[in-house]
Every structure is written in C-alpha cells, then in structure tokens.
Amino acid sequence: MFDAVKVKDACVRWIRDFFEKNGKGCNAVVGISGGKDSSVVAALCVEALGRDRVIGVLMPNGVQADIDSAKLLVEHLGIRHYIVNIKDAVDGVVKNIPFELSEQSRQNLPPRIRMSTLYAVSQSNNGRVANTCNLSEDWVGYSTRYGDSVGDFSPCSNLTVQEVKAIGRILGLPAVLVDKVPTDGLCGKTDEDNLGFTYAELDRYIREGKIDDPAKKENIDRRHKNNLFKLQLMPAFDLGDLI
C-alpha cells in the first residue's frame, strides 16, 4: 500500500539533502505548466526549502490556453515567478533552419527551448533546475529528450501518476491542479489519447505487472523498449586497454 505521507516526507528530506550537498543556499527553479507534476514538484521544494528559495518559470509559446492554472499554482504557493514567452525564440529557429522541419521536430522544439530558458534563469539566480517528470511518463518515453526530460534533481521520477496525485493531495494543492486532465502541450491532445491506454492501466502494469488488454500490454512494452535510451547516460567510447 502506497503511503503518501511517508513518501512525501522522505522526498522532502531528499531535496534538502540534495541542496545541502549540491548547492547549499541555492534556489530551486521549476518550470510551471499548471499540471500536477510541476505543481507537486514546486510544492515539495517549498516544503523542503521554503518559498523564498523556489522560483517558478511560466513559459507560454504565444498564447497558452491553460496559463491560469500555472498562475494559480504560483499564487497558491506564494513563490517568486517569471513569465517568459518563448514564441519569438521558437519562431526564430524555425524561420532560420534552411529546410522544412518534420512535425515531430516542430513539436519537440518548444520543450527544448523551455529547458534552455530554465537554465538561463537558474544560472542567473543561483539555482538548480528541477526535473518534473514522473515514472509513468518516463516508462513509455513520454518526454522530450533534452527538454522536459532533464534537470539537476528529480523528486518524482520514481513515482507513478497515481502516486504523484496522492502526494499532491497530501500537500494541499488545489484539486483543479492535481486532477487536471494531462495534455502533451505539443499537439493539443490528451496524454491518454496519444498513448492508447490510461495512466491508471499503465501504473497498475508498472507496479503489479498486471494488465487486462493484451494489445495495450504490447503497446506499453514496445514504447518502453523503444525509449529506454532516453533514461540512460549518453554512450561514450571506452578506450579500455588501448592506452
């Protein structure tokens, strides 16, 4: 049985320990989308470090339909925040590349620019960038490599979607943020529409190894295998005994 209080408290201690060892006195910099993951990570950082050491960064690409959710989160936590519209940067890259970008390239460009923005904010504000991914999304490669998949520390990458939600409730976050239907932020569809299975089904498969639909099992296994490279360190040539 998942004990949300016990896990939350342990994660808060882990964040404090990370900053003690890897940036004593530094600030946590969190990209705020208004969804459950960034909300929970930001709230964990506030409990661990205090609101004065947490900086939220809202990064719409032009007009963001759900930016009010992101604003609600930073207001609820009372943290310092910046709004950086990345549209000009995205458009500038697209305009200056001398060929037609693939649709996948277009969809993954904004997350990568957002991560560059987070590191610019972090480096200028004595910060460490929080990764906001969860285990369920990572399991099936539902993140952008060198975009939202990276960071300096990752509080929730070993927690499933259901577990992240449970911690969000323990933290007292507004239900509208915890239970918000997740979308990819890229093509406008919900995560579950894109994936072909629900997070509840995926989480049960991850934790219990059980799934009722063989086709969905095959889908999950295929995605997991094809995207394992995203979770591994970059391969490096090993000289071995050559020198």
pLDDT in tens, 41-58: 999 999 999 999 999 999
User: Across residues 213-224, what is the average pLDDT?
Assistant: 98
pLDDT class of 188 with cuts at 50, 70, 90: low
The pLDDT value recorded for residue 94 is 97
- Cα 19 to its chain centre, rounded Å, is 19
User: Across residues 210-215, what is the average pLDDT?
Assistant: 97
| Residues 64-121 pLDDT 10s | 999 999 999 999 999 999 999 999 999 999 999 999 999 999 999 999 999 999 999 9
User: Does residue 69 fall inside a structural domain?
Assistant: yes
The pLDDT value recorded for residue 191 is 86
More confident residue, 188 or 65: 65
Written as six digits, the tokens of 85 are 């519209």
Task: Count structural domains, the chain.
Answer: 1
User: Does residue 27 fall inside a structural domain?
Assistant: yes
pLDDT exceeds cutoff 60 at 167: yes
User: Does residue 173 fall inside a structural domain?
Assistant: yes
Q: What CATH number is given to the structural domain containing 49?
A: 3.40.50.620
User: Across residues 220-242, what is the average pLDDT?
Assistant: 94
User: Does residue 223 fall inside a structural domain?
Assistant: no
pLDDT exceeds cutoff 90 at 20: yes
User: Does residue 232 fall inside a structural domain?
Assistant: no
pLDDT class of 187 with cuts at 50, 70, 90: low
User: Does residue 46 fall inside a structural domain?
Assistant: yes
Question: 55 is in which domain, residue-wise?
Answer: 4-181
User: Does residue 62 fall inside a structural domain?
Assistant: yes
Q: What percent of the chain has pLDDT over 70?
A: 98
45's CB contacts (< 8 A; 6+ apart) are 15, 28, 30, 53, 54, 130, 155
User: Does residue 230 fall inside a structural domain?
Assistant: no
